[in-house]
Amino acid sequence: MDKFKTSTAKVDFPEKVRGEAKFTDDISFPDMLFAKTVRSTVARGKIKKITLPKMPEGYHWFCADDIKGENVVNIIFSDWPVFAAGRVKFIGESIGIFVGKDKEILDKLASEIKIDYEEETPVYELTESYIHKAFKKGDYEAAKAKAVKVIKHTYETGYQEQAYLENQGIICYFDENDKLTLTGSMQCPFYIKRAVMRSCGLKDDEVRVIQPAVGGAFGGKEHYPSMIGSQVAVAAIALHKPVKMCFERAEDITFTTKRHPSHSEYEALIDQDNNILGLKIRVGLNGGAYKGCSGVVLSRALIASSNAYVFENLDVVGDVYMTNTTPTAAFRGFGSPQTIFAMEMFIHHVAKELGVDPLELRFKYLAKQGDVTANNGHFHDPIVLKELMEKAMKMSDYKRKLKAYSKPGCNKGIGMSIFLHGCGFTGSGESDIIHGKVKLVKDEHDHVYCYAAPVDFGQGNRTTLKKIVSNTLGLPEDQVSFEAPDTDHTPDSGPTAASRTIIIVGFLFEKCAKHLKEIWKSGERQEYVEPYVGPSYIHWDEDTMQGDAYPGYSWGVNIVEVEFNPVTYQVSVLNTWSTYDVGRVVDERIAVGQADGGLLQGLGYGYLEEMKCVDGRMRNRNLSDYIIPTFEDAPHMETAFIDNPFIYGANGAKGMGELTLVGGAPAVALAIENAIGRKISKIPANPEYLMEVMKHEN
Amino acid sequence: MKINFNMNGKPVEIDVDPSMRFLDVVRDVLHLNGTKEGCGEGSCGACVVLMDGKSVNSCLLPVANAIGHDFVTIEGLKETKEFDILQQAFAEMGGSQCGFCTPGMIIAAYSLLKHNPYPTEAQVREEMSGNLCRCTGYQAIVEAVLKAAKKGAGLW
């Protein structure tokens, strides 16, 4: 029996099912105060004057003037102020916080504060590029000479809200040694620690961050908690009291970061034998008011823009545009769901236009081991994409259904997406920038404690990482513990992001456990710290975007079957069949859980979830008007894995958190195309859009 | 205003504003933190509790309407045999990831099985559709409820 794949008990399950796990809002301290944010009501302008209401005793106001360090949130590109400094750039930007004991009084103060603005004309269209990236492969211009046809299409994707069930929230307090400590709903404890150090002007040993139970994140808690953390820290330090700020749903949906809306233009050069000679790709992302991590999102969107296909000539350009709207940032997939949707639709649309079988056209350009990637690196490892496709097609009876559903009036459809996802930080970032470390400590009773920074916000990594250690050491699972990250005791193994937890941190734990095993002395306290050393053959230049974009890739296929209602234009997703190459699965039940949950988020992105921003204001305010899939929307899902062990992964495992989301939207969109016999070029393909498509082409 | 009801089998008397949300009474007055707030407007089901054996969104219930009723939260349910069957089924099928919706899911599943001990898959999906989960894709939860129905046959 394969002890790695066999499902093991999820370590955090008992306390969660019994309602005993402490999430942020379940934690309180004596003397704790609450904070309420005052937000900009204009999209762009100067703050002329702030008139505070009469402040009751014990109530306080904190704003940009109170910041002792730098007034920026420490993100990859730190342009977002902790509190607006003299000017505002979007509706909802934090201007300050009221702090005090009674939430109702805080709400009253927030409604009474008067802020005078000198308004400026806001920008809502994609016209002001503030990040620009480009790369080429081969010579697209020269290839034009051999082309007999040029095919162009445009694709659009909307916002997507993470919609984790637990809203954002942070508490800042002083620990038993009077050290400034933050706990809260987070993905990256060390990001918060560094952000608070920078905004409050504190040293490394003056800030501690501890992770409690976290109710979902999906990228939405990668950077935003650094802002809330900085804000409550400013107040907690000044008052020397615990300060808690937990958002309600409306505040969370309207003002926290979401997935970048995109607009992509694809152009293909076709020769006389219907070969695709090359692609010209232009991608625009709406970054909102501040850059934050948008540069990296763009980078990953462009790298993924030709998806799992290899073409000789590529001309790829992308921009992130500043608009006076809620900033967009990390969300599971990080740029690639937008371009993978566009590429999957485009290759299909090209095939249709050429009158060739889309499946054959896709097979012709599938990536193979040794191929040169879009960025002139190489696919170094074996690729089993063909096997994944064949297996998924067999599971779903794809070919028969595709033919049957193509008959007009049957109102059923089937669609397939093929996709890849780069695991870990781009290029050699893991070795050069992150320098992740993990630590194992063995006590006198030979019990082993695992220390690393990844936050388990549902993915199950407390269970899977612990399992990698216990299996490598050959110990029973109850002889190994994995504690939640606490920056005072945990080495910085990097953020919980980029599908890196298993492929990078898991690999580190496997190596660390092997080393501990070599020096193992029963009955003695021992510890071992393992630093990350990546594959030496990975070289990447971020400025030119040339080289190996990722240390490794995971691959997948989604097949989706839908039913279309020609009266209401509603789509029901009936069944899905998915196959994945994630190297080797660490725990079957957890892996299937990632596959199911990721795919449903991807499907929701494709046909259901719509967020609208009108005149700088988000129209959606709760889960009643931002619709995520329910029990009844969710299809029956079947998932299979094909082993393809990765030599730099724990027991061969690669990443899978994001992979499972990126194929959902194109698969459901292609299924809808099959059902209605019309082209889909925009998601979400909801009834309003489908009605437009049906009427327009009639 | 003095308000009386039963919570987890014990009589409770509290003196609060009658318009207070029952969710706030549960969490802030009675300190039963297993009941969660996800949306505050009855869309997500994270706050469901049993009211006379049926699941209700505690965020939509003013405490004045609680007078004289019997309530059970996850803290009360976790001592029962039915809970044990449900939690085992959730564990085996992988019905919980981040865990924030889980107490609400367990309450909703219990309420469903009490009224319909042998539900079909479609009935589980329909009757639990007031409870949102963003992690699992729901399939594991559906399988867990069906498994619990089978394993607890006769108990519900």
Domains A262-426+544-695 and A435-531 share a fold: yes
State the residue for tokens 């599938």.
A366
Instruction: Tell me the two tokens of residue A584.
Output: 């080797």
CB contact under 8 A, A216 and B87: no
* Cβ atoms within 10 Å, residue A44: 21
Contacts made by residues B27-32, CB under 8 angstroms, sequence distance 24+? B32/A19, B32/B7, B32/B8, B32/B73, B32/B74, B32/B75
- Asked if B137 has any chain A CB less than 8 Å from its own CB, the reply is yes
* Cβ atoms within 10 Å, residue A312: 17
- B43 chain-A contacts, CB cut-off 8 A: 622-624
- Asked if B133 has any chain A CB less than 8 Å from its own CB, the reply is yes
CB contact under 8 A, B36 and A165: yes
Q: Across the interface, which of A9, A589, A599 has its CB nearest the CB of B137?
A: A599
CB contact under 8 A, A601 and B134: yes
Q: Across the interface, which of A22, A593, A622 has its CB nearest the CB of B97?
A: A593
B39 and B94 in a common domain: no
- A16 chain-B contacts, CB cut-off 8 A: 96, 99, 102
Give the range of the structural domain holding residue B128, as residue numbers without chain letter.
Answer: 81-151
d(CA A465, CA A377) in angstroms, rounded, equals 30
Q: What is the pLDDT of residue A13?
A: 97
**Domain boundaries A262-426+544-695, CATH class:** alpha beta
CB contact under 8 A, A17 and B102: yes
Residue B118 located in a structural domain: yes
d(CA A461, CA A126) in angstroms, rounded, equals 39
CB contact under 8 A, A216 and B100: yes
By C-alpha distance, which of A483, A457, A459 is closest to A469? Answer: A483
Alpha-carbon torsion (A224, A229, A234, A236), positive or negative: positive
By C-alpha distance, which of A570, A548, A572, A573 is closest to A559? Answer: A573
Query: What are B50's strand-pairing partners?
Result: B55, B72
Query: What are the φ and ψ backbone dihedral angles of A373, each rounded to 5 degrees?
Result: -75, 175
CB contact under 8 A, A22 and B134: no
- Asked if A12 has any chain B CB less than 8 Å from its own CB, the reply is yes
- Asked if B124 has any chain A CB less than 8 Å from its own CB, the reply is yes
Q: Is A583 helix (H, G, I), strand (E, B) or coil?
A: coil
Instruction: Name the minimum distance, in Å, from the CA of B27 to any CA of chain A.
Output: 8
CA A670, A672, A674: angle at the middle one, nearest 5?
Answer: 70
Query: What are the φ and ψ backbone dihedral angles of A403, each rounded to 5 degrees?
Result: -70, -45
Instruction: Name the minimum distance, in Å, from the CA of B98 to any CA of chain A.
Output: 3
Alpha carbon A428 to its chain centroid, in Å, reads 20
d(CA A1, CA A98) in angstroms, rounded, equals 59
Fold held by A24-121+163-255 = Aldehyde Oxidoreductase; domain 4 (3.30.365)
Q: Is A527 helix (H, G, I), strand (E, B) or coil?
A: strand
Rounded to whole angstroms, what are the CA distances from A535 to A436, A520, A532, A659, B66?
14, 27, 10, 21, 63
d(CA A326, CA A55) in angstroms, rounded, equals 30
B58 and B8 in a common domain: yes
Nearest residue of A to residue B102, measured between CA atoms: A17
Instruction: Name the minimum distance, in Å, from the CA of B148 to any CA of chain A.
Output: 14
d(CA A605, CA A601) in angstroms, rounded, equals 6
- Asked if A621 has any chain B CB less than 8 Å from its own CB, the reply is no
B88 and B70 in a common domain: no
Residues 6+ apart with CB under 8 A from A345: A153, A155, A666, A669, A670, A679, A680, A681
Nearest residue of B to residue A637, measured between CA atoms: B139
- A249 chain-B contacts, CB cut-off 8 A: 38-41
Query: What are B80's strand-pairing partners?
Result: none
- Asked if A9 has any chain B CB less than 8 Å from its own CB, the reply is yes
B96 and B67 in a common domain: no
- Asked if B72 has any chain A CB less than 8 Å from its own CB, the reply is no
B86 and B44 in a common domain: no
CB contact under 8 A, A622 and B36: no
Q: What one-letter code names the amino acid at B110?
A: Y
Which positions 193-252 of A are in contact with B (Cβ < 8 Å)? 213-218, 248-249
Domain limit, last residue, from B58, B74, B90: B74
Instruction: Tell me the two tokens of residue B2.
Output: 């003095």
Strand-pair category, A128-137 with A313-322? antiparallel
Residue B156 located in a structural domain: no
Q: Across the interface, which of B91, B101, B124 has its CB nearest the CB of A165?
A: B101
B59 and B6 in a common domain: yes
- A629 chain-B contacts, CB cut-off 8 A: 138
ipTM > 0.95 for the complex: yes
d(CA A263, CA A261) in angstroms, rounded, equals 7
CB contact under 8 A, A13 and B99: yes
On the question of a cis peptide bond just before residue A684, with omega within 30 degrees of 0, the verdict is yes
Domain borders along chain A are: 24-121+163-255, 262-426+544-695, 435-531
Which positions 363-392 of A are in contact with B (Cβ < 8 Å)? none
- Asked if B110 has any chain A CB less than 8 Å from its own CB, the reply is no
Query: B80-89, pLDDT tens digit by residue?
Result: 999 999 999 9
Length of chain B (residues)? 156
CB contact under 8 A, A167 and B141: no
DSSP letter at A685? -
Alpha carbon A512 to its chain centroid, in Å, reads 28
Q: Is A505 helix (H, G, I), strand (E, B) or coil?
A: helix
By C-alpha distance, which of A396, A379, A445 is closest to A557? Answer: A396
If phi over 0 gives left and psi between -120 and 50 gives alpha, with beta otherwise, what is residue A681?
Answer: alpha
B144 and B88 in a common domain: yes
d(CA A13, CA A53) in angstroms, rounded, equals 47
CB contact under 8 A, A592 and B94: yes
CB contact under 8 A, A17 and B90: yes
Instruction: Name the minimum distance, in Å, from the CA of A44 to any CA of chain B.
Output: 29
Residues 6+ apart with CB under 8 A from A362: A309, A347, A351, A418
B145 and B106 in a common domain: yes
Residue B23 located in a structural domain: yes
Alpha-carbon torsion (A682, A687, A688, A693), positive or negative: positive
Number of domains in chain B: 2
Sheet holding A128-137, edge to edge: A128-137, A313-322, A276-288, A262-270, A149-157, A682-683
Domain limit, last residue, from B74, B108, B132: B74
CB contact under 8 A, B138 and A634: yes
Q: Across the interface, which of A215, A601, A632 has its CB nearest the CB of B98?
A: A215
Domain limit, last residue, from B44, B74, B104: B74
d(CA B64, CA B17) in angstroms, rounded, equals 8
pTM of the full structure: 0.98
d(CA B78, CA B103) in angstroms, rounded, equals 10
Q: Across the interface, which of B102, B126, B137 has its CB nearest the CB of A632?
A: B126
Rounded to whole angstroms, what are the CA distances from A525 to A106, A441, A444, A447, A604?
51, 7, 5, 9, 50
Residues 6+ apart with CB under 8 A from A100: A33, A34, A56, A58, A59, A60, A106, A109
- Asked if B102 has any chain A CB less than 8 Å from its own CB, the reply is yes
Nearest residue of A to residue B83, measured between CA atoms: A18
CB contact under 8 A, A457 and B137: no
d(CA B81, CA B87) in angstroms, rounded, equals 10
Q: Across the interface, which of A17, A163, A637 has its CB nearest the CB of B96?
A: A17
CB contact under 8 A, B38 and A167: yes
CA A219, A220, A222: angle at the middle one, nearest 5?
Answer: 65
CB contact under 8 A, B136 and A636: no
- B39 chain-A contacts, CB cut-off 8 A: 249, 622-624
Give me the architecture of the A435-531 domain, per CATH: 2-Layer Sandwich (3.30)
Query: What are the φ and ψ backbone dihedral angles of A375, each rounded to 5 degrees?
Result: -100, 20
- A254 chain-B contacts, CB cut-off 8 A: none
- B141 chain-A contacts, CB cut-off 8 A: 631
Classify residue A115 as exposed, middle or buried by CB count within 10 Å of its CB (0-12, 13-18, 19+): buried
CB contact under 8 A, A215 and B100: yes
Instruction: Name the minimum distance, in Å, from the CA of B37 to any CA of chain A.
Output: 8
Q: What one-letter code names the amino acid at A683?
A: I
Q: What is the CA radius of gyration of chain B?
A: 15
By C-alpha distance, which of A344, A358, A160, A186 is closest to A259? Answer: A160
- B33 chain-A contacts, CB cut-off 8 A: 19, 22, 26
CATH number at residue B109: 1.10.150.120
Q: Is A526 helix (H, G, I), strand (E, B) or coil?
A: strand
Instruction: Report, as ranges of residue numbers, the positions in chain A whose pLDDT lies below 50.
Output: 1, 698
Residue B8 located in a structural domain: yes
Query: What are the φ and ψ backbone dihedral angles of A497, each rounded to 5 degrees?
Result: -165, 175
Q: What one-letter code names the amino acid at A98?
A: F
Q: Which spans in A366-521 are helix H?
A: 385-396, 398-405, 429, 461-473, 507-519
Q: What is the CA radius of gyration of chain A?
A: 25
DSSP letter at B30? S
- Asked if B145 has any chain A CB less than 8 Å from its own CB, the reply is no
Q: Is A478 helix (H, G, I), strand (E, B) or coil?
A: helix
